[in-house]
Amino acid sequence: MLRVEGLTKIFANTTDAIAGGIRDAGFALEPGAFFTLLGPSGCGKTTTLRCLAGLETPDSGTIVLDERALFDRSRRVNVPMNKRAIGMVFQSYAIWPHMTVAENVAFPLTVNKERRFSRSEIEGAVKEALATVNLDGYQSRPATRLSGGEQQRVALARAIVFAPRLLLLDEPLSNLDAQLREEMRAELKRLQRQIGITTVYVTHDQAEALTLSDRIAVINRGSVVQIGDPRAIYFRPESDFVARFVGATNLLPGRLLGVVDGRGEAEAVSGHRLSCIVPHRIADMSAVAVSIRPEHIRLLAGAPPGPPDQGENRLSGRVVGVSFLGNACRVDIDADGTPLQVTIGAEVDLPADRAVTLSFPAEKTVVVPRLEGGN
């Protein structure tokens, strides 16, 4: 439904010579997909979205929607934004304060130069769009009397009022408080499934990406470094950056001693040898990192460390400190000089300086390439 190949847009930077933008991005989306561009600030995700929308002109590449080329540098094709059949919600919502809710939502129809809509058609489309976002009856309300969540819903209604083929969302939840943000995640997911529109979503929030997406593209420094479904991104990261950025993890730099059929043994720089899985091809076995999620580690009191038992790794350690997080506790461990974090239940009372054994499955001990030069 949407195909992007070799998309590149570079912004020159004369200050520190670090050019921003996106380089050689490519992905293909099926109809109805919810696809998220995830990455830190300045990585190029919003640039990608603006190229899709027609707000930026790429340096090279192709963008094809429903077999129609929206941009193709080699063929000199660049369809204007207002002719791309794309709806977009900006981070700031861009709600006009001098208009009512109905006037805001109707705006794409009233300024449409391809077709003239009758008043009854506009009223019907606005009513349907507002009902879809649970704002039916808000037509005459002034925009200045809307809460942040209501403004976001109005922006969504305006984006879908003309039944676009593609919906683009640029960090639409970032201005909401934590509780409302969580509520709107569920609302966005319901809305997207209800109308079945293909959606490209930009965020730096890992929880949003994992909750909402069918597929995620992780972007770092202008390059797409991994594309996959949320579980693959979280449990099978392809680099130390992805492992670190998507959720909390313990990363132990080291080297891979050997691998057979996706399983191997790694030696961390601390000297620990760990049984692990190797889900991706490793080009340099001497420059890897071992990723262990904090929630995959069990703390055993008094159990001596030993060789892996039925696929379990074991390390000895000592509790450095415990942080209460409400729904869980984060335990900082010194494992023979290696700092590790462990997530345990909130009700557990664990004293500092206690000797413990860390036990974690080899199946959850993942080797990734070390692309950032270590930690």
* Residue range 111-156, pLDDT digits in tens: 877 778 899 999 999 999 999 998 999 999 998 888 888 898 999 9
Q: Which two tokens stand for residue 49?
A: 């979205």
221 vs 6: CA distance, rounded Å: 16
Q: What percentage of residues in the chain have a pLDDT greater than 70?
A: 95
Give the mean pLDDT of 319-334: 93
131 vs 156: CA distance, rounded Å: 11
pLDDT value at residue 148: 84
180 vs 352: CA distance, rounded Å: 36
Encode pLDDT of 35-83 as tens digits: 999 999 989 999 999 999 999 999 999 999 999 999 999 999 999 998 9
Q: Assess contact for 314 and 357: CB atoms under 8 A.
A: yes
β-strand pairing of 166-170 with 198-203 = parallel
276 vs 272: CA distance, rounded Å: 12
Domains of the chain: 2-235 (3.40.50.300), 240-369 (2.40.50.100)
Which residue, chain included where needed, has tokens 């063929």? 75
Q: How confident is the model at residue 17 (pLDDT cuts 50, 70, 90)?
A: low
User: Smallest Cα–Cα separation from 103: which of 81, 122, 83, 79?
Assistant: 122
225 vs 241: CA distance, rounded Å: 9
User: Smallest Cα–Cα separation from 81: which of 49, 107, 121, 105?
Assistant: 49
- For the entire predicted model, the pTM comes to 0.90
Q: Assess contact for 8 and 25: CB atoms under 8 A.
A: yes
Task: For residue 359, list its beta bridge partners.
Answer: 298, 314
Residue type, 365: T
319 vs 303: CA distance, rounded Å: 15
Q: Assess contact for 339 and 331: CB atoms under 8 A.
A: no
Encode pLDDT of 213-267 as tens digits: 999 999 999 999 999 999 999 999 999 999 999 999 999 999 999 999 999 999 9
